[in-house]
A and B are shown apart, each in its own frame.
Chain A
Amino acid sequence: EPEVTQTPSHQVTQMGQEVILRCVPISNHLYFYWYRQILGQKVEFLVSFYNNEISEKSEIFDDQFSVERPDGSNFTLKIRSTKLEDSAMYFCASSEAAVINTGELFFGEGSRLTVL
Chain B
Amino acid sequence: AQSVTQLGSHVSVSEGALVLLRCNYSSSVPPYLFWYVQYPNQGLQLLLKYTSAATLVKGINGFEAEFKKSETSFHLTKPSAHMSDAAEYFCAVSGNNDYKLSFGAGTTVTVRA
Contacts and interface: CB of A to CB of B under 8 A. Distances in A.
Interface stretch (B16-24, B41-49, B79-87): B41-49
Given A100-B97, A100-B98, A42 B103 contact: yes
A31 B99 contact: yes
Interface of B: 32, 36, 41-46, 49, 51, 90, 92, 94, 97-106
Interface in A76-107: 91, 93, 95, 98-101, 104-107
Interface residues of A, number: 26
A108 B44 CA distance: 7
A58 B92 CA distance: 16
Contacts of B101: 35, 43, 45, 105
B103 A107 contact: no
Contacts of A35: 101, 103
B41 A109 contact: yes
Interface of A: 3-4, 31, 33, 35, 41-45, 48, 56, 91, 93, 95, 98-101, 104-110
Contact of A43 (B44, B51, B97): B44
Query: Which of A4, A42, A93: most chain B CB closer than 10 A?
Result: A42
Contacts of A45: 100-102
B99 A48 contact: yes
